[in-house]
Amino acid sequence: MRGLLVVNPKATTTTDVTRDVLISALADKFHLEVVTTTHRGHAEELGARARTEGMDCILTLGGDGTVHEVVNGLLAEGPRADLPVLGAVPGGSANVFTRALGYPQDAVESTGLLLRAMREASTRTIGLGMVDDRYFTFTAGLGIDAEIMARMEAARADGKTATPTRYLATTLAHFFRGSDRKTASLTLHRPGADPVTGVFLAIVQNTSPWTFFGAHPINPSPKASFDTGLDLWATTSLKVGSGLRYGTRMVLNRDKGNPKNIVAWHDQAELRITATRPTAMQVDGEVIGEVEDVSFRAVPGALRVYVP
């Protein structure tokens, strides 16, 4: 088997010793070339290289950001049947993509399951989402969630760990003191329907869950799946009472239609979000900056992945 093992040396939940053990297990068993990323965008370059050189597989040892880059490199020229198979070992703080595929959070256990999947050629083909010209594996969002992620990235840049407790504290602080909860800036558009105005927050999911709080999945759109189109969850209120109801719904994974102040769309082939002012946006948990007009579309059968 010919392939690459892409290692993010800054992966937050693995130590140098653990990474050495996992690299040895994966690379020695399948004779993979190991490349350690050195800069932002490096994993995307490696994904493109794996595609161009016609490799059999490309594996990642890192978080959702590493997977995101590799996927965009692999698919830079669009999906096709002979692309390298993607395998991922969780090494970040959330690892939503790998957990959505059925791998556990523990990197050592996941490596064992990935090795078995590779030996048995256990794969599935999944759909992805696109926002403008960029692929995403599990989510993209505009508004307060991206603003919170920006604050978390700033905290990590200061050397602080991205723990569930810190995430919760950052969320509460930003909700009450950092966000504009009075003036909605977003409008939702989809073919054949009237626009929905007055939206504060919009989350687009390619699969479920949206994220995790520790071991617990947080799920605005429980029906979202790699096998369907995109799901959208949005809110037209950021009042305290509404926020408590939203949080309960997400934590309990409830999907009971569209209650007041919530917009929920399932299995969408395409949609568009516009903003009256520059609004923060995140893609696969990575903040990409501020946007005012973005288009989304589902890409069925985009990528083959190893599954446990």
161-175 as b/e: b if 16+ CB within 10 A: ebeeebbeebbeebb
Name the phi and psi angles at 57, rounded to 5: -155, 165
Chain-centroid distance, C-alpha 105: 15
Lowest mean pLDDT: which of 7-21, 36-50, 84-98, 245-259? 245-259
CA distance 196 to 245: 21
The structure tokens 């991206």 sit at: 146
Contact yes or no for 1/29 (Cβ under 8 A)? no
**Average pLDDT, integer, range 128-153:** 88
Lowest mean pLDDT: which of 20-34, 49-63, 112-126, 292-306? 20-34
Q: What is the pLDDT of residue 259?
A: 66
Does the pTM surpass 0.85? The reply is: yes
pLDDT band at 100 (very low <50, low <70, confident <90, very high): very high
Task: Provide the residue ranges of all domains of the chain, joining segments of one domain with +.
Answer: 3-121, 139-300
Q: What is the pLDDT of residue 246?
A: 54
* Token pair for 84: 């390298």
Rg of the chain over Cα atoms, rounded to whole angstroms, equals: 19
> Mean pLDDT, the chain, as a whole number?
88
- Count CB atoms within 10 A of the CB of residue 194: 8
Q: Which residues contact 176 (CB under 8 A, 6 or more apart)?
A: none
| Spatial CA neighbour of 136 closest among 69, 232, 201 | 69
Q: What is the pLDDT of residue 65?
A: 95
Adjacent-strand bridge partners of 289: 281
Q: Which CATH class is domain 139-300?
A: mainly beta
pLDDT digits (tens, 9 = 90+) for 209-268: 988 877 788 888 999 999 999 999 999 987 655 555 555 555 555 555 556 788 999 999
209 preceded by a cis bond (ω within 30 of 0): yes
Q: What is the pLDDT of residue 119?
A: 95
pLDDT digits (tens, 9 = 90+) for 164-194: 566 556 565 555 565 666 788 999 999 999 9
CA distance 208 to 305: 17
Q: Which residues contact 184 (CB under 8 A, 6 or more apart)?
A: 197, 198, 199, 200, 236
Four-way CATH pick for 3-121: 3.40.50.2300, 3.40.50.10330, 3.30.300.90, 3.30.930.10: 3.40.50.10330
CA distance 228 to 285: 21
Q: What is the pLDDT of residue 239?
A: 63
* Token pair for 268: 């969408």
**In sequence order, which ranges of 252-283 are alpha helices (DSSP H)?**
none
| Spatial CA neighbour of 143 closest among 92, 105, 187, 101 | 187
Contact yes or no for 211/218 (Cβ under 8 A)? yes
304 vs 156: which has the higher pLDDT: 304
CA distance 33 to 5: 6
Lowest mean pLDDT: which of 74-88, 160-174, 224-238, 276-290? 160-174
- Count CB atoms within 10 A of the CB of residue 187: 17
CA distance 247 to 281: 20
